[in-house]
Amino acid sequence: MKVLKFGGTSVGSVESILSVKKIVEAEKEPVVVVVSALGGITDKLIKTSKLALAGDLSYQSEFDEIAVRHHQMIEAVIPSGENKERLLETIDALLDELKSIYQGVYLIRDLSPKTSAAIVSYGERLSSNIVAVLIDGAKWFDSRTFIKTEIKSGRQLLASDLTHELVKQAFVDLPKVSLVPGFISTDADSGEVTNLGRGGSDYTASIIAAALDASFLEIWTDVDGFMTADPKVISTAYTINELSYVEAMELCNFGAKVVYPPTIYPVCVKNIPILIKNTFNPSGKGTVIKSDIAEDQKPIKGISSINGTTLITVSGLSMVGVIGVNRRIFSALANNGISVFLVSQASSENSTSIGVRDADADAACEVLNAEFSKEIETGAMYRMTAESGLATVAIVGENMKHTPGIAGKLFGTLGRSGINVIACAQGASETNISFVVDGLFLRKTLNVIHDSFFLSEYQVLNLFLCGVGTVGSSLIAQLAQQSEKLKKERGLKLKVVGIASGHNAMFDREGISLENCREQLAHSAPSDLNRLRDEVIGMNIFNSVFVDCTASSDVAGLYQEFLEHNISVVAANKAAASSDYATYQKLKSTARQRGVKFLFETNVGAGLPIIRTMNDLLNSGDKILKIEAVLSGTLNFIFNKISADVPFSETVRLAKEEGYSEPDPRVDLSGKDVIRKLVILAREAGYRIEQSDVEKHLFVPDSFFRGTLDEFWKNLPSLDADFERRRKVLESEGKRWRFVSRYENGKASVELCEVGREHPFYTLEGSNNIILLTTERYKEYPMQIQGYGAGAGVTAAGVFADIMSIANV
C-alpha cells in the first residue's frame, strides 16, 4: 500500500482537484489519501477568528466567503445525485458549527488556543469530505480518532506510540481508497481537537505511512519536486532527482516549505522512500528521498533559508568561569518551548550566539535574562542582546564532507558580493553550513550561492544599461542576438534588469525583454540621476554590472557608489577614467577592494583591445616606454579626405554628416577628445598624468573655439586657402598629415604631424586608429594595434567584451 498526500494547492481549484481524482483512481494498489484544507482556507479561518475576536463584524463576510468557496467547489466537481445531497448536508452541518463558534468568539471576545484549534480543524474536515465523495469508492476516516497529541514542553506534540497503535487498528481492513483529513488530531487525555502545526498534513501522511509500513509516501504539491531552492525566490532553481533523508531533513529544517520538517523522521526510521510530485504535472519525475542515493551527487544539493531570524548573544567577560552556560541556555529555552536553530560559539567562550525565530525573540531574552540574573547582577555576564531583521541560510549536501574548500568558496563569494556574514555554524557532520545575514540581503545571498555553486544550469549576470543612443542601441541589438547562444554554449545568462535613457528608466529583476525595449522605455517612468542611483543600489541584485553608454559626467559620478555596493562598471563613457587622477585611482582601488571590475576598454580605440593588451604586458613584467598613436577617427578621416577637390572645411562637414565627428566637431578639432584618450592610455601604462599635463599643438586657431557653432561653420572656409597651400607642399614631399598623440619620458603631447611613406601611420585608412607601444620587450619593433577606432557596432562589441570578461565563463 501507499500513502498519498495532496496539499492545499492540489485541492485548491477545480482543475487541480480533478487531477487529484485522476491520480488516485489510476492507482492499482490500496492507497491512503491524506488531504489538506482547500488552498488558503487555513489562513482565512485564522483571519476570520481574529476579526471576530476584535469585535469586527466583517468576520461574517469572511465566513460567508469560506462557505461559498466550498459550495462552489462542490457544484463544480460533484455530479448531482444522492451522494451530492448527503455531502451538502455534511458540509452545511460543519459550516453551521463553525459559524456558531465564530459567533461565540465574537460575543465573548475570547479566543483560547483550544477554540483556535477547533476552528482551524474545519479546513481539513470540509475538504476531506468533498474529496471522499469525489473519488470513486473512497472511504472517509476521521483522523481525530487515531492521530493523538500530548503536551510536551508546553506544546501539543505527537503521542507517537499511542498514535502508531491506533493507526494500525483503524486501518486493519484497508479499502481501495481511504480518505483522511491531514493536520488535525486530538489530545490523548481530553479528546479535544488539536493539530500537528502549520503544514502538518505532510506529517499526518508520514505517520500513517510508517504505521502501516507503506511502500511509498507520496507528497503531491504544486512544484515539480524538491528543488535546489525555493522557486518562488530563485527562478533558476530546478528539481533535485534524489535526496538522502539527512539532506531532506536539513533543507526542511531550514525553511524549505515543500515538506513539513517532522515528516521525514517517521518514514526515515522505517526506510520508506518519499516521492515528491506535482499534481499539475503528474508525468514529471519528481524527487525521491531515500537512504541509498546514487553516489555521483553534487557536493551541495540545495539551499534553504529562514527569514525573520533574531540572533541573541549571551556574553560576559567572565563567562569562561561560569559553569554549564550552554546547558543552562538550552534547558531554559527548551523548558519554555523555544526552539533554537543555530548556535555559534567562539572557542574563547566569551559569547554564544543563538538563532531563534523573530516571534520567539522577546520571550527568549526574558527567559535567559531570568536564568542568568545572578551572574548579570554580579557583572560576570551581560544582559542578553538581540539583533533582529536577520535571515538564516543553509547550504546542504552530504558530499560536502568529501569536498574541501566549500566553506572558503562560500564565504569568498559572499564577501565579493558585499554580503556580510553575521554568524555561522557548521557541524562536524559537514552536511550543512548555516550562516546569518541581514534580512535585506537574503534574496541576493540565495541567488549568489545558487549561481556560484553551479546549482543553476547557467550563470547569471544582471545588467543595468544606461544610455540608448547609437552605442547603447547597438549593444541592445547584440545582446538580443547573442543571448540564446551564450546561454546554450557558454552557460551564461545575460539578464538586463534595468534600462535608462536621459529621461526615462525601467527596472525589473526578473529581466526586461529586449524586443521593442526602446519603445517600452519611452513609455516608462521618468527618471533622473537620483532615481537611477536609488534603483540600481536598492535592487541589491547579485552579480550585477552597470553599463554606461552615455557621455555624461553626471552618470560617471555614480560609479564610485556603485562599486562600493559591489556593482561592476563597464563604461564606454570616458568621463570617469579621464577625470582627475585621484578620482580615477579611487575608482580602480575601490573595484579591487570590492572584488568587482571597473572596465573601460572602449574609451580608446572603440573595440580595439588596447587597454587589455597594455594590462597584460604590465602584468607579465613588461614596461611601457613610449606610446604613439592616432586616436581620433574623425581627424584621421579629415586628413585622409582633404585633397585639391575637397577643401578642409568640406572635410569637416563630411565628417559630421557621415557620423564620425561629435555633433559639435570642435570637440574633435580642439583635440579634447584625443587628450582624454591619451591620458587614459598613459594612466593604464602606469603613469600619473592629468589632462592639463598634455601639450597641445592645434591646427585650428583658438578663436574658432570661442564663438557659436554657426559662426564656426561660417568662418571655417577662411582656413581652406592656407590648408590647400600647405597640402600641396606636403603632397610634393610625399607626406601625409596625421594627428598624433605621444607619451614618452613623462611628456605627453598631441599635434598635427607630417609622416612620410616609411612611417606606419602613413597608410592609416579612413577613420581607423593605430597605436604603437614601445616596451622593454617590444623595443626595436613596437607592438602595433590597428583597426576601426569608431562606430557604434564596434564600440558596442567592445562593451560586450568587457561584460563577458566580468562573467569570466
Helix/strand/coil percentages in the chain, nearest 5 = 45, 20, 35
Q: Which stretch binds Mg ion (CB under 5 A): 191-199, 483-491, 744-752, 796-804?
A: 191-199
Question: How far, in Å, CA of 539 to CA of 75, rounded?
Answer: 46
**Residue 154 CB, nearest approach to ligand ASP (Å):** 20
Report the partner that residue 229 touches, choosing among ligand ASP, Mg ion, ligand ADP, none (CB closer than 5 to 8 A by kind): ligand ADP
**Residue 493 CB, nearest approach to Mg ion (Å):** 30
Contact between residue 261 and residue 207 where contact means Cβ atoms under 8 Å apart? no
404: helix, coil or strand?
coil
Report the partner that residue 232 touches, choosing among ligand ASP, Mg ion, ligand ADP, none (CB closer than 5 to 8 A by kind): ligand ADP
- For ligand ADP, the binding residues in 354-373 under the rule CB under 6 A are none
DSSP 36: -
**Residue 258 CB, nearest approach to ligand ADP (Å):** 4
Report the partner that residue 200 touches, choosing among ligand ADP, Mg ion, ligand ASP, none (CB closer than 5 to 8 A by kind): ligand ASP
Q: Is 200 in the site for Mg ion (CB under 5 A)?
A: no
Q: CB-wise, 289 or 547, nearer to ligand ADP? A: 289
Q: How many C-beta neighbours within 10 Å does residue 447 have? A: 24
CA 514 from chain centre, in angstroms, equals 20
Residue 134: all three cell numbers together: 469525489
Which residue ranges make up the site for ligand ASP (CB under 6 A)? 7-8, 36-37, 42, 123, 182-183, 198-202
**Residue 230 CB, nearest approach to ligand ADP (Å):** 3
Instruction: State which H helix or E strand residue 651 sits in.
Output: helix 648-657
Report the partner that residue 226 touches, choosing among Mg ion, ligand ASP, ligand ADP, none (CB closer than 5 to 8 A by kind): ligand ADP
Residue 701: all three cell numbers together: 586657431
**Residue 137 CB, nearest approach to ligand ASP (Å):** 25
Q: CB-wise, 201 or 632, nearer to ligand ADP? A: 201
Report the partner that residue 400 touches, choosing among ligand ADP, ligand ASP, Mg ion, none (CB closer than 5 to 8 A by kind): none
Sequence-separated contacts (24+) of 161-164 with Cβ below 8 Å: 162/188, 163/207, 163/211, 164/207, 164/210, 164/211
Contact between residue 384 and residue 368 where contact means Cβ atoms under 8 Å apart? yes
Residue entry with cell 538564516 = 392
Q: Is 536 in the site for ligand ADP (CB under 6 A)?
A: no
What's the one-letter identity of residue 95? L
Using the rule CB under 6 A, which residue among 199, 266, 355, 605 binds ligand ADP?
199
DSSP 504: B
**Residue 38 CB, nearest approach to ligand ADP (Å):** 10
Q: Is 9 in the site for ligand ADP (CB under 6 A)?
A: yes
**Residue 220 CB, nearest approach to Mg ion (Å):** 11
Q: Is 222 in the site for ligand ADP (CB under 6 A)?
A: yes
- Find, among 539, 461, 536, 474, the residue nearest to 500 by Cα: 536
Instruction: State which H helix or E strand residue 9 sits in.
Output: none
Q: CB-wise, 70 or 736, nearer to ligand ASP? A: 70
Using the rule CB under 6 A, which residue among 20, 193, 207, 256 binds ligand ADP?
256
Instruction: State which H helix or E strand residue 752 sits in.
Output: strand 747-756
Closest residue to ligand ADP, judged by C-beta, is 7
Question: How far, in Å, CA of 587 to CA of 561, rounded?
Answer: 9
Q: Which stretch binds ligand ADP (CB under 6 A): 102-110, 226-234, 390-398, 765-773?
A: 226-234
Report the partner that residue 198 touches, choosing among Mg ion, ligand ASP, ligand ADP, none (CB closer than 5 to 8 A by kind): ligand ASP
Phi, psi of 238 (to 5 degrees): -140, 170
Contact between residue 339 and residue 364 where contact means Cβ atoms under 8 Å apart? no
- Find, among 322, 314, 374, 315, the residue nearest to 340 by Cα: 314
Q: Which stretch binds Mg ion (CB under 5 A): 63-71, 199-207, 261-269, 630-638?
A: 199-207
Active-site residue identified among 574, 656, 677, 747: 677
Q: Is 227 in the site for ligand ADP (CB under 6 A)?
A: yes
Using the rule CB under 5 A, which residue among 199, 472, 665, 791 binds Mg ion?
199
Say whether 677 is catalytic: yes
- For ligand ADP, the binding residues in 564-583 under the rule CB under 6 A are none
List residues bridging with 289 in a β-sheet. 243, 274
Beta-carbon-side half-sphere exposure of residue 17 (alpha carbons within 13 Å): 27
By DSSP bridging, strand 432-438 and strand 385-396 are antiparallel
Q: Is 223 in the site for ligand ADP (CB under 6 A)?
A: yes
Catalytic residue positions? 677
Query: What residue ranges bind ligand ADP (CB under 6 A)?
Result: 7-10, 36, 199, 221-223, 226-227, 229-232, 256-258, 302
Q: Which residues bind Mg ion (CB under 5 A)?
A: 7, 199
